[in-house]
Amino acid sequence: MKEQLESIQTEALEKIASAAELRELQDIKVAYLGKKGSLTTVLRGMGKLSKEERPVVGEIANQVREAITEALNQKTGKLEQEAMDKQLESEAIDVTLPGRPVNVGGPHLLTSILQEIEDLFIGMGFEVREGPEVETDYFNFEALNLPKNHPARDMQDTFYLTNELLLRTHTSPVQARTMQEYGGNRAVKMICPGKVYRRDTDDATHSHQFTQVEGLYVDKDVRMSDLKGVLDKFAKKMFGEDREIRLRPSFFPFTEPSVEMDISCKVCGGDGCSVCKQSGWIEILGGGMVHPKVLEMAGYDPKVYSGFAFGMGPERIAMLKYGISDIRQFYTNDIRFLKQFHHA
Ligand code: PHE
C-alpha cells in the first residue's frame, strides 16, 4: 500500500508539473483528491490493514495528500501569474505614443455674424426678440399693409402651408407681433434675427431659406435721421470706420417713405469695380419709416407715435465682409470653408 501511495504521488506530481492550463490542474485535483479520486480509493482500503500498519500508512497518505495539494497550489499560482503577465503585456499602453488629434468645433460663420449684429444693436439699446417661422397670413402680410390680392405680395414668393398659414417670407411680422404685445402706449426698440423662406431657385445669390435681422424702433418723435444715424453706426462698426452709407428711395408696403441702404465699396474705395458693378456702392438692406397704417393696426396712434424699421440679410453681410461669392457655402457645410472662420 505504501508503494501504491508513493506511485500515486509521483504520478500526480509529474502530471502537475507538465500541466499547462488551469483547467488541467482542476482535472488532476478531481482525479487524485476527489471523492472518487485514486488517493481516496486507496485510503478506503485502509480498513483492511492491521492496527500497527494503519497509523504508518495514514501518515504517509497525509503526506501524499499534502504534497499533491501543495504542488497544485503552487502550479495554480504560477499559471495564474503567467496568465496575468500575458494579459498585461497584450493590453499594455505605450504612454509615449502621440495622442490622436481631436477636431475641435467652432461656431458657424452665420452664427458668428448674427452674434456680432446682435451685439452691435444691443449696444445701441435694442432688445433681441424672436417670432415663429410658421406664420399666419395676417402677420406676414395683412398687418404689414399687404392686404389679400395686393400686387406687392408677388415680391415675395411664398411657401403656403394652408390658405392662412405660411413659412414667413421675412422677419417683418415680428414688428407687428411686438407692437401688438407692447399694447400701443410704450416705446419699442427691438431687433429680431431669424430664418425666412422664399420659393426661389437656389443659385450663387438666391436661397430658398436664409436669415434676416429685423429692426424696429417706435417712440414719440422718431425720425428718418434716427434711422440714418443707427445704420451709419452699424455699417461703420461692421465694415470699418472708413465706410460711407447712402440711402436711396425705394418701396415697401409697410414703410413710408422707404429706402434702400448702400455702403461704399471696400474693394475699390468708391471708384467702381466688378464687385460693386462699377457703381462704387453695394446695397445691404431695406428700411424706412413705419407706415401709419402698420402702426395703427398694431395699436399705436400714428399721430403720437412714429418709428423706423429695417431688414437686413446676414448672409449678404458676411459675403461682403469676407468676400464670399456663393450663398450656398453657408449650408453645404464644406469643412474647409467653415474652418476659415473659426478664429475670425
Ligand atoms: N421685409 C423686407 C424684405 O424682406 C425688408 C424690410 C424690413 C424693409 C423692414 C423695410 C422695413 O425685403
Phi-psi category of 269—alpha, beta or left, where left has phi over 0 and alpha has psi -120 to 50? left
| Residues in CB range of 157: below 8 A, 6 or more apart | 169, 198, 199, 200
- Give the Å distance between the CA of 251 and the centre of ligand 1: 10
Give residue 289's identity as a one-letter amino acid code. M
Q: Is the dihedral of CA 237, 212, 263, 202 positive or negative?
A: positive
Closest Cα partner for 284 from 319, 249, 251, 308? 319
Please tell me the distance from the alpha carbon of residue 332 to that of residue 324, in angstroms, as a whole number.
14
Is the CB of residue 255 below 6 angstroms from any atom belonging to ligand 1? yes
- Give whole-number Cα distances, 274 to 76, 206, 265, in Å: 85, 19, 10
Task: Give the DSSP per-residue string, 168-213.
Answer: -SSSTHHHHHHHHHHTTSS-EEEEEEEEEE-----SSS--SEEEEE
By the 8 A CB rule, do 165 and 229 touch?
A: no
At residue 49, φ and ψ (nearest 5 deg) are: -80, 160
Could you give the 3-state DSSP secondary structure of residue 329? helix
Apex 48 CA angle, 46 and 49, nearest 5:
70
Is the CB of residue 310 below 6 angstroms from any atom belonging to ligand 1? yes
Residue recorded with cell 465694415: 239
**245-252/255-264 β-pairing:** antiparallel
Is the CB of residue 5 below 6 angstroms from any atom belonging to ligand 1? no
**Ligand 1 pocket test, candidate residues 146, 155, 172, 178, most atoms within 8 A of CB:** 172
By the 8 A CB rule, do 324 and 220 touch?
A: no
Index of the ligand 1 atom closest to the CA of residue 215:
9
| The predicted structure's pLDDT at residue 344 | 45
Residue recorded with cell 492491521: 50
Cell numbers placing 147: 392686404
Q: Is the dihedral of CA 303, 147, 228, 247 positive or negative?
A: negative
Q: Does residue 302 have a cis peptide bond before it, meaning omega lies within 30 degrees of 0? A: no
pLDDT in tens, 139-179: 999 999 999 988 878 777 899 999 999 999 999 999 999 99
Burial class (CB in 10 A: 0-12, 13-18, 19+), 104: exposed
Q: Please check whether the domain covering 109-341 is classified as CATH 3.10.20.30.
A: no
Index of the ligand 1 atom closest to the CA of residue 311:
7
pLDDT in tens, 269-278: 888 888 788 8
| The predicted structure's pLDDT at residue 330 | 95
Per-residue pLDDT band for 134 (boundaries 50, 70, 90) equals very high
pLDDT in tens, 258-309: 999 999 988 788 888 887 888 999 899 999 999 999 999 999 999 999 999 9
Is the CB of residue 158 below 6 angstroms from any atom belonging to ligand 1? no
| The predicted structure's pLDDT at residue 108 | 95
Q: What is the pTM of this model?
A: 0.72
Is the CB of residue 313 below 6 angstroms from any atom belonging to ligand 1? no
At residue 47, φ and ψ (nearest 5 deg) are: -55, -30
pLDDT in tens, 52-96: 888 888 888 888 889 888 988 998 898 899 889 999 989 888 889
Index of the ligand 1 atom closest to the CA of residue 170:
4
pLDDT in tens, 93-116: 888 999 888 888 889 999 999 999
Please tell me the distance from the alpha carbon of residue 227 to that of residue 42, in angstroms, as a whole number.
112
Reduced 3-state DSSP string for 122-174: HHCCCEECCCCCEEEHHHHCHHHCCCCCCHHHHHCCCCECCCCEEECCCCCHH
**281-290/134-136 β-pairing:** unpaired
